[in-house]
Amino acid sequence: MILGEFGISLSIILIGIGIYGLLNSRNIIRILLSSEIILNSAILFVFSLSDLLGLVYQPVIFSIFAIGMALIEVVVAFASIILYYRNNGSLEVK
């Protein structure tokens, strides 16, 4: 039970850090990292909540799906970053 409560509080803190990074960053790579922090903290929240509720298989299926979506997100984001850098010459958001 302590692990579930700690995981929920840690995921809430990480979501706050990710939102702060999204709102205050002008660099595309920092924005991408902030969105990844938010996605990973959501996965941590689901695992911690399932630990508190005693669920076994549902969070595993969700996390496999979420990790696959994160992989697709990273590939598309890096391709977009490379294209943005080629067009503008810098990674600063205007």
Domain ranges of the chain: 1-88
What is the pTM for the complete model shown?
A: 0.77
Q: What are the pLDDT digits (tens) for 17-74?
A: 999 999 998 888 888 889 889 988 988 888 888 888 887 777 778 778 888 888 888 8
Question: What was the pLDDT predicted at 1?
Answer: 62
As its CATH architecture, domain 1-88 has Orthogonal Bundle (1.10)
**Contact 92/27 with Cβ under 8 angstroms?**
yes
User: Which SS3 state, helix, strand or coil, does residue 30 take?
Assistant: helix
DSSP-derived letter for residue 57 is S
Burial of 22-58, coded b for 16+ CB within 10 Å and e otherwise, reads beeeeebeebbbbbbbbbbbbbbbbbbebbeeeeeee
Question: What was the pLDDT predicted at 88?
Answer: 87
Question: What was the pLDDT predicted at 81?
Answer: 86
pLDDT at 90 over 70: yes
pLDDT at 12 over 90: yes
